[in-house]
Amino acid sequence: MFGLFSKKNSNECPIDPEMRLWMENSFLWLTTQFGHDNVATKPMLHPSPEHFPIRYDGSIESLTKTAEIVARQMEIDINEIKLDTYEQNIQEFSNEFGHRIWTEVDKDSDEKIAAGLYFDKDEHGRYDIFIEKRNLTDPENLVATLAHEFSHIKILGEKRLDFNDEQLTDLTPVVFGLGIFNANSAFKESKSFDSYGHNSIGYLKQKEWGYALALYAYFRQEENSGWIKYLTPNIQSDFKKSMDFINANKDKVFIEEYKGSI
């Protein structure tokens, strides 16, 4: 009878074992690619006017200024990027160099499309990055979308892998100190007196973002991560549960081998 009221193990990992091992091994792969010391010491960006002193009015100027900050944080030459926007109702279009571009419809929704699109260098040596216009008035989504698309540059454009792995691409902004934005954009609720809805971007799930950020804090040996105040309540909760697991299992984290492929 009393078992009905027993507390759940506070040190239980919030994500499944296979995903945990994939994430830990992928995180280490990313730190090897981009430099252990670099990841450990690079300043983390927060959703604040201090780090993004931009007026988000839906203008192309706000997109360009945000892209410059994200590119600098991710060690990308902004001059190698050609930015453009597209709208939700556009299903197919071409850029001036002949690339055919299709918007990506989410399998779970008839209306949701990709927040951004990436194409490798054109004949003039510039990457084509397209951002869905709705993101221009949502600062967190805009940063998250740019960080994800720029991660394609770091992984595919810089020839670190020859195949696309969207989950690995999602994880990449974390090692560049942009994980807050992508985590918060993973699941956003919208409520009113007569309706409820949600919006999400990216490929990692909410709990997986909590674990990813906990790995980041653990790798950087942060005793108190003051930046968690910028996380949404759900992500904060998953982050804290993940830290409890990591601190109770230091003999496992970053040590066990993932048997799949990265």
96-136 confidence digits (pLDDT tens): 544 444 444 444 444 444 678 899 998 889 999 999 999 99
> Which tokens belong to 21?
């091992």
Q: What percent of the chain has pLDDT over 70?
A: 80
Whether residue 190 is predicted with pLDDT greater than 50 in this model: the reply is: no
> Which tokens belong to 3?
């078992």
Residue 39's pLDDT is what? 98
How far, in Å, CA of 236 to CA of 219, rounded?
A: 18
Average of per-residue pLDDT across 56-77 = 97
Q: Angle of helix 166-175 relative to helix 17-34, nearest 10 degrees?
A: 60
Q: pLDDT (tens digit, 9 = 90+) per residue, 132-146?
A: 999 999 999 999 999
Residue 203's pLDDT is what? 81
Whether residue 9 is predicted with pLDDT greater than 80 in this model: the reply is: no
How far, in Å, CA of 177 to CA of 31, rounded?
A: 12
